[in-house]
Structure 1
């Protein structure tokens, strides 16, 4: 088993200190291997040491500018630092370098959301959900963007998919209630959806407000 494989195994087992040691040793033995730097940088990202991670990803790019995963990792650092424009640029570079993954498309979409460009987020989140149809968060975020743009029917479909994957997702019930209320004028099902969200998450303020609004308008 190579040092990298041992490091990845330690990472999977949750032993970050041991994984770090393996990846450091891999860099010592193979200083021109960009993946070794990415692996170590990813550990630093996991423990929140973003400033230590970024130079490692840049080093990987310096060694091989076509290492797509290094750009993805750079994007992750910037996203966590809430530098969404820089994150978007890095993710786009990863895409141009050939990286094709549900996670990449999801993060591209989330950057667009954070930059208040929901229309541009749609195709990325749609693709993320297509590539990983079991990804609850991808379907949820895709549905949220669709609903926010007024595309209520497809938004409803996404929320129903979310609930088929995770029946205890309170935000999906809340947003399903919004669709019933806004698009279908179905106050009964809207209230039931809000109540279900509140049942799962008693401090869901938006669901509580939705119930109060319906009760007030029903008087």
Structure 2
């Protein structure tokens, strides 16, 4: 039912309900005029037909005009396997993905393509599932990839393959180069067959292996090891990544908002990050990520004016970074309207479209959907919340945080048996998780099985 409502409403403000309301008003108006003998029965019937057709025509025009553009075709580059088919837990596994990514930034992809960033993919897969090679493919397919690029080091060089998922019966294209550290010939071969880029002759960007290694550990959240690798590096992008390590450490510290109203709270890690970034700011270096991390610090400190300035600059620098969109979602709705977003839900939807595997954005979007509605089991916002969660779980079924949110949502809409199944599974996976114990107690309490509930509290 919700799917039908969404289809008929499209992107028209008020949707199908607005159309039904206007049709009802028109018909009641002419019925009233006829009953009052102000117009004849024939005139009433003719005018009702005319205005009904006019409203339907205008609505159909709006429905088509406000349709969102067709989604871009997503390209996902999987990490490079070693010669024995295993996946090495090191930055070199992403050398080819990083090369393609930087080449795309320099020589942009055609508008109909979107390159999914390997950092996002790594965060979705996570450290626990890193070595499970088939899981990477599973994630790629379920985040909506149109093309999947695989690669492997071999005894005599380097091989790569491109699969068009819209043609599952075809085996895809295979490529081979003799040297595994020069990807220019490989990218040229891919370009000749698929024409992803705007030019045929593509200048391939060389990558710094040490920086890539540090970036890899950063996205695995091994910040100390990343910092150890970064310390000798002095390039602008290494400096920004070094500052990002300190920012992430500082974000772990809780800020007393009441105290912050009267005293300036100094977070040592943030101060260190600012010292690192200050020379880049003075030199007006336009480095990817610089404005974003300054914005994250300002947001955490409660300085929303500065956070807004930095995050809007970050959006200009990198309009396809879903993390920037997510950070901007914490601004006041009036500030979001300046960016073309009507609500927090709108910008969270954009973040999830960019990266369907972005757990934080999915969590907040599903929660926002639910809170924006009546809370009824069959309401459209409740259905959207559940669909958003289920779509993410098709990508990463074992995600405890999202499963827990789905369980809590089931409790709110009184689907207690489904909630019970989720929390039983979570307790099997994480037997020491106090939140799952508490939620299981709530399930039994709501089912009025008080004796079963008591041990969980």
Q: Tell whether the structures are fold-level matches, with TM greater than 0.5.
A: yes
Q: Which residue of 1 aligns with 2:297?
A: 77
State the shift of 1:15 in Å: 5.4
- Separation in 2, partners of 1:210, 1:67: 45
State the shift of 1:74 in Å: 0.8
* Aligned partners of 1:42 and 1:73 also within 8 Å: no
Q: Which residue of 2 aligns with 1:176?
A: 406
* Aligned partners of 2:349 and 2:365 also within 8 Å: yes
In the TM superposition, what are the counterparts of 1:20-31 in structure 2 within 5 Å?
Answer: 20-23=231-234, 26=235
Residue 108 of structure 1 pairs with residue 307 of structure 2: no
Residue 214 of structure 1 pairs with residue 443 of structure 2: yes
Q: Which residue of 2 aligns with 1:45?
A: 244
State the shift of 1:43 in Å: 0.6
Higher strand share: 2
Q: Which residue of 1 aligns with 2:393?
A: 163
Residue 83 of structure 1 aligns to a residue whose secondary structure is coil
Q: Which runs of 5+ in 1 are unaligned?
A: 27-35
Q: Which residue of 2 aligns with 1:142?
A: 365
State the shift of 1:62 in Å: 3.6
Q: TM-score, normalised by structure 1?
A: 0.72
State the shift of 1:127 in Å: 1.0
Q: Which residue of 2 aligns with 1:191?
A: 420
- Separation in 2, partners of 1:99, 1:165: 24
Residue 21 of structure 1 aligns to a residue whose secondary structure is coil
Residue 22 of structure 1 aligns to a residue whose secondary structure is coil
**Aligned positions, number:** 200
* Aligned partners of 1:57 and 1:71 also within 8 Å: no
Q: Which residue of 2 aligns with 1:5?
A: 208
| Alignment CA distance shift 1:198-1:141 (3 Å) | farther
State the shift of 1:182 in Å: 2.4
* Aligned partners of 2:240 and 2:290 also within 8 Å: no
Q: TM-score, normalised by structure 2?
A: 0.38
Q: Which runs of 5+ in 2 are unaligned?
A: 1-204, 217-224, 250-268, 337-341, 374-380, 449-457
